[in-house]
A and B are shown apart, each in its own frame.
Chain A
Amino acid sequence: MAERYNFRFEEGSTYDRCVQLISELDCAPDALVLDLGAGYGAPAEAVAELGLKYVGCDLDGDGLGDLAARGFETHPLDLRDAHLADQLVAIVRGRPVAAIVLLDTVEHLADTHSLLHAVSDAAARLGEPELVLSIPNVAHRDIAVKLLAMGRFDYTPVGLLDQTHLQLFTEARLRSDMERYAWVATSSRDVLISRTEQRFPAGHPALEPSTPIYEFLSATRLAADPHGEVYQFVRRYARQPHDDSALPGTDDAAAGDVPFLTVIMRTRGDRDRLLADALLCLAAQTDRDFEVRLMVHSDSPVVLGEVAEVVGRFAASFRRRVFVHAVHGGGRARPLNNGLALARGKFVAFLDDDDIVTAHWVEAFRGAATAPSVLRSRCYVRSIEPHPHPDAPYEIVERPQPWYSAKFDFVEHLYANQTPICSFALPHALVSELGLRFDETLEVLEDWDLLLRAASLAGVLDSGEITSVYNFWHDRAGSRLLHDAAQWEQIHLGILDRFDAAPLLLPIKSASYLHDLQRRAEHDAWAAEHRTAEVERLEEYVRSLEHELAVYRRIGMTQALNAPRKVYRKLRSAD
């Protein structure tokens, strides 16, 4: 083995983290730690200090020789051997095994699955010890940004893209491969490195923080999943054998086809009539290719049962597409995020339990879905208030009004939201692949914040149809009334501050849009200035008339005053 792989054991290193994971195990004294692909066995001494017996296995004689000279048990072992499991059982010879270790090894083998299959087989025969593994993350932000901005994918002697790597792993691939052999992560000590050896060539704008292109690409990558700065995955796994009927990741609905739309509806379960109306609107949809994730934000099992009872009243063809989920803790955004985690539809839309939609709400979204963009329909607003009669869910005070813009305008939306939560749908990929979630720290405007982020990345397609009615409560608890204007403004500005922290991706044709906006602003400023001069001129004229009027009064020419009086009144009224 090349000397370049003779790494020292250092605090915080992969080896240190690996030993920490082993130290958490509850195992017999002197149990074995089988290090497969041990190389020079950097963690050997630290493992021994835990009271465990380190056993180094490798094909390379240099490393094994070094380990043996340090007093550790070693065995020559080819991890590609067809009888690898048998060999491991033979090495153990009935001794207890604390853990099997694969540090920076899997990526050097062409056939990952044969290795994992053999290790799993051996684990089953050795009393199911846990597996500790480290593996580099090929989806590190530095590699992603470099590949995207520069088209470069540079192998190096060591590091993330070690030139001897035969397999490349992302977190998703690692999880998938491990789950295939029933290994489920029980603990992790991932190595985070912000600036890696991949930051070359030096001085390139795409690789330097503070440049717009770096900041934008970096922010996009880091938002996609929590592993953008993970240099190495360092994790411990336990085997949880399963049968095919209970595959990980499945839920009560996953067996069916993927619907066009997931509707995430949030309720606190305290207004059954409104909820029933909202569900009625969904049951009556002309396009029924959707599922409903009804998120009940309550700790009360009674409330959950009452909501389930409302759903249960509907016909089977509808109620079997409505899944009721309890949501505990958190604020207004928690039910929405929990719903996003469950959503299976190609697009995801949202409703509150007091929203009303027309029969073509889903149909209009589908009609607009010519690309994986945010889909938007028009929403009208009607004012309502509580009704004194117990049967009536509300009193309508004002018929639906077009408060919101007919077409989506990104810049206008930065100033004020024009798209209530009931009137847009997100492509699911924004959630599953780009990690978009509602910000649970926001007390209000969480939908506006998410919409802007989604629109910036995916664009917006307007259906042009009016498909929803937002109920504006006049005198009852709603988010608008729970916070005063100053709080709204503060939250609004806070959201803008966060957008300011990174470059903002604007829609196509924004250059001419911004040009026209500036031109209009200049014209308006000129017009205002011109009006000011005109007002000053008129005021001077009024003063001269007032002076003239005073003169006439003094000389008693009342008849002669009629004409200037009229002029004076006219000018005053024009003020």
Chain B
Amino acid sequence: MASIVQPVPSRVRVQVVLYGADPHGIWRLTESVARAVHLARDAGVVSDGTLVFGDCSPEPALTEDDLLTLADICATELVAPPDYHFFDANRFHSGGQNALADLALQHNDAGGWLLVLNPECYVAPDLLVEMLRVADADDVAAVEARQVPLEHPKAYDRVSLDVSWASGACLLVHHAAFGAVGGFDESCFPMYCNDVDLSWRLRLRGHRLRYAPGAAVFHDKRIDPETGYPLPTALEEGSGLLARLLLTTRYDRPDLCAETISLIEAHGSDAQRQAAEEFERLRAGGLVPAPLAGASTVADFVAGEYGERRY
């Protein structure tokens, strides 16, 4: 079993990847993160909390004035101004997060925990306190927050709080463990299923992942009138399907891969068909990931989902 030495108080680096974000939304997010860092520091569980943005937008999403505003917001909570990195290229979520984690190494800010955070989030004041409390075991490499207003339906163990995989919307992951598995797989999973893949690779190394029901994060999701679930984004239909096919390949489920393709051929949308065609091109070119050894011990494909669902 992998073991992580976790000094207390911990260092926490909050990483947010942007793509054309609304400045007001970023102000709100910054306000909430700064507050959570402040309270976690007061509680003695965080020694140093930093906020860093990686911007994948074609043009900088934040102006100099925006950054001054963010610095003022942080100052009210006695937190250092956020770092801002304009990548000048779309590195997508996985690439952006990896780059931010690598920058930490370059700036001697490695160690401790990374909080991978979606830009449409507003964290609860006690989020870090609660997540670090649940992370307080040597074999826990990542902790997932409880999403509000629409909780993720994925199951978790009602006693141990262990999960099959942890959502990347608000994910506390140990920096060293993240680095040891190579971070997110930005080539196969630039956006979708990158959290599932990261989670299962962490578990393959013997780490546990836990759910922190006491740590709430507001994730701005709107309800689909038809399903009662969050509305899918425009990209989700095609890119999500391609990610699923790659995931079934990496985790050695050719049966599910074939089944998915046949279902798409029979019932899929145009976007899904295009994704299936793209997968076949990648497969013909030998560009799909090879199955991981021991994949079946961590991969939970259940009724078309990843892991069991509670409802």
On A, residues with C-beta under 8 Å from B are 273, 276-277, 280-281, 283-284, 286, 313-318, 356-360, 378, 380, 382, 387-389, 391-393, 395-402, 406, 465-466, 469
B222: contacting residue among A315, A358, A382, A389, CB under 8 A: A358
Q: Is the CB of A358 within 8 A of B158?
A: no
State the CA gap A401–B150 with chains docked (Å): 12
Chain B residues within 8 Å of A401, by CB: 228
Q: Is the CB of B149 within 8 A of A286?
A: no
Shortest CB–CB separation between residue A290 and chain B, in angstroms? Answer: 14
CB nearest to B24 among chain A residues: A286
Q: Is the CB of B35 within 8 A of A315?
A: yes
B contacts with A, residue count (CB < 8 A): 41
Chain B residues within 8 Å of A388, by CB: 158
**At the interface, yes or no: B85 with Cβ under 8 Å from chain A?**
no
Q: Is the CB of B150 within 8 A of A313?
A: no
Q: Is the CB of A280 within 8 A of B213?
A: no
Q: Is the CB of A396 within 8 A of B153?
A: yes
Query: Top 10 nearest A-B pairs by Cβ distance?
Result: A284-B122, A391-B214, A392-B213, A313-B125, A284-B218, A400-B228, A359-B220, A315-B35, A356-B149, A466-B223
State the CA gap A281–B217 with chains docked (Å): 9
Shortest CB–CB separation between residue B227 and chain A, in angstroms? Answer: 8
B35: contacting residue among A314, A358, A397, CB under 8 A: A314
Chain A residues within 8 Å of B126, by CB: 276, 313
Shortest CB–CB separation between residue A384 and chain B, in angstroms? Answer: 10
Query: Mask for B136-153, Cβ within 8 A of A = 1, else 0?
Result: 000000000010111101
Chain A residues within 8 Å of B31, by CB: 315, 317-318
B228: contacting residue among A280, A358, A399, CB under 8 A: A399
B311: contacting residue among A358, A360, A399, CB under 8 A: A399
Shortest CB–CB separation between residue B40 and chain A, in angstroms? Answer: 11
CB nearest to B215 among chain A residues: A391
| In the complex, chain B residues 218-237 whose Cβ is within 8 Å of any chain A Cβ | 218, 220-223, 225, 227-229
Asked whether A358 and B214 contact (CB < 8 A) given A313-B125, A396-B310, A399-B229, the answer is no
Chain A residues within 8 Å of B28, by CB: 283-284
Shortest CB–CB separation between residue A464 and chain B, in angstroms? Answer: 10
Q: Is the CB of A315 within 8 A of B149?
A: no
State the CA gap A400–B77 with chains docked (Å): 36
Shortest CB–CB separation between residue A108 and chain B, in angstroms? Answer: 58
Shortest CB–CB separation between residue B252 and chain A, in angstroms? Answer: 31
Chain B residues within 8 Å of A397, by CB: 311
| In the complex, chain B residues 31-69 whose Cβ is within 8 Å of any chain A Cβ | 31-32, 34-35, 39
Shortest CB–CB separation between residue A365 and chain B, in angstroms? Answer: 15
| In the complex, chain B residues 131-185 whose Cβ is within 8 Å of any chain A Cβ | 134, 146, 148-151, 153, 158-159, 161
CB nearest to A397 among chain B residues: B311
**At the interface, yes or no: B216 with Cβ under 8 Å from chain A?**
yes
Q: Is the CB of A280 within 8 A of B225?
A: no
A389: contacting residue among B35, B122, B161, CB under 8 A: B161
State the CA gap A384–B161 with chains docked (Å): 18
Q: Is the CB of B76 within 8 A of A280?
A: no
Interface centre among B124, B126, B149 (most CB of A within 10 A): B149
B125: contacting residue among A273, A315, A380, A389, CB under 8 A: A315
| In the complex, chain B residues 16-32 whose Cβ is within 8 Å of any chain A Cβ | 24-25, 28, 31-32
Chain A residues within 8 Å of B77, by CB: 315
Q: Is the CB of B122 within 8 A of A402?
A: no
Asked whether A398 and B220 contact (CB < 8 A) given A280-B122, A391-B212, the answer is no
Chain A residues within 8 Å of B125, by CB: 313-315
Chain A residues within 8 Å of B195, by CB: none
**At the interface, yes or no: B197 with Cβ under 8 Å from chain A?**
no
Chain B residues within 8 Å of A389, by CB: 158-159, 161, 213
Chain B residues within 8 Å of A317, by CB: 31
State the CA gap A568–B126 with chains docked (Å): 70
Interface centre among A281, A284, A356, A466 (most CB of B within 10 A): A284
Shortest CB–CB separation between residue A159 and chain B, in angstroms? Answer: 59
Q: Is the CB of A277 within 8 A of B148?
A: yes
State the CA gap A123–B149 with chains docked (Å): 61
